Chains A and B, each alone.
Chain A
Amino acid sequence: MEALVIEGTNKTPSIHFDATTGRLEMRGRSIPENSIDFYKPLILWIDGYARSPKPRTVLHVQLEYFNTSSSKCILDLFKKLESIRTLGHDVLVNWHYEEDDEDMLEAGEDYQAIINIPFKMIQIQEAGQ
């Protein structure tokens, strides 16, 4: 299965989903006016990946900003991963947040509260790392 690679813009995150390693990355900012268009190919890719996932899948989320238009789409990504986990595979979300950005930590905790996947909260020391 081909990796999904999307360059980041000032409104959408960079995406690197690699089926051969099970490492999925989403970085930058997700603030488009219409997020459904952006997230649709991501959801489709994960649907394909879910047919033969790696024993361990790790999603790295490192967002500086995301809007409420994106928040339900991000939840959908997590739900897809949750169903991979339900089939007995190992799934983890690494939720990165900048030092002092308690709001982004809280946002991760909000997802953690409603999704049945282990979350690891990772503090980044400096912006943009």
Chain B
Amino acid sequence: MLDRIYDLYNEMERKQVMLSFTGDLSAELITALLGLVERKLLGFEEDVRVRKRVFNVVMECLQNLYHHNGGERAAEGASGDPHGVVMIARVEDGYSVLTGNFMAGRDVDDLKAHLDHINSLPPQELRKAYQARLSDGRYTQQGGGGLGIMEIARKSGNKLEYGFVPCDRDNAFFSLNVNVTN
């Protein structure tokens, strides 16, 4: 067992994992994780713009996890807080922000269509789509009005990588990888 801790350490160092967490995500925990990410970024990322982009992406991804956890599987945690996984790693040309959560299987098609649409837009079109959504006067319960994934895509500057794994008849696991490049 103790050897495996050393292996785990080496593995995480090799993959340059900045942060890895799985479990129930409360608002307080999100604040703590963001504080940790911010401090770590200050330590080794000199480019202010990259630093802010990574922070923004992590923030939106965590808040997406917090708000959009759905499906019965999401409510399995004892605390009632949303359940998910997040990992932030340094990669060759920037950072990778991975998140995953359970969602209702019936919502998969809509989310996939939304992601595909955003991925199909060149940067200027994405900016226009963001402005249109911002000004349309509609809110979601959280106040964002469906801007989160657009903002993540804008800050990333790369195509969003995603996947859905069906869990059972009613639930799926959604995973998202956002690359922020230097």
**Is this pair of chains taken from one and the same complex?**
yes
List the interface of chain A (C-beta within 8 A of B): 10-11, 31, 33-36, 39, 65, 67-73, 75, 98, 100-104, 106, 110, 113-114, 127
Chain B nearest CB: distance from A78 CB in Å? Answer: 10
What is the chain B residue whose CB lies nearest that of A64? B52
List the interface of chain B (C-beta within 8 A of A): 27, 30-31, 34-35, 48-49, 52-53, 55-56, 59-60, 63, 66-67, 127, 130-131, 134-135, 139, 142-145, 147-148, 150-151, 155
Establish whether residues B145 and A10, one from each chain, have CB atoms under 8 Å apart when the complex forms: no
Bound state CA distance, A72 and B133, in angstroms?
A: 9
A72-B144, A114-B134 known; A33-B66 Cβ under 8 A = yes
A65-B56, A68-B144 known; A36-B139 Cβ under 8 A = yes
Collect the chain A residues with CB atoms within 8 Å of residue B52's CB: 65, 101, 103-104
Establish whether residues A67 and B60, one from each chain, have CB atoms under 8 Å apart when the complex forms: yes
Collect the chain B residues with CB atoms within 8 Å of residue A71's CB: 134, 144, 147, 151
A68-B151, A103-B53, A114-B135 known; A73-B127 Cβ under 8 A = no
A sample of 24 cross-chain residue pairs with beta-carbon separation below 8 angstroms, ordered by A number, consists of A10-B31, A11-B31, A33-B63, A33-B66, A33-B67, A35-B143, A36-B143, A65-B52, A65-B59, A68-B60, A68-B147, A68-B151, A69-B142, A69-B143, A71-B134, A71-B151, A72-B144, A72-B147, A73-B143, A100-B48, A100-B49, A102-B49, A103-B56, A110-B127
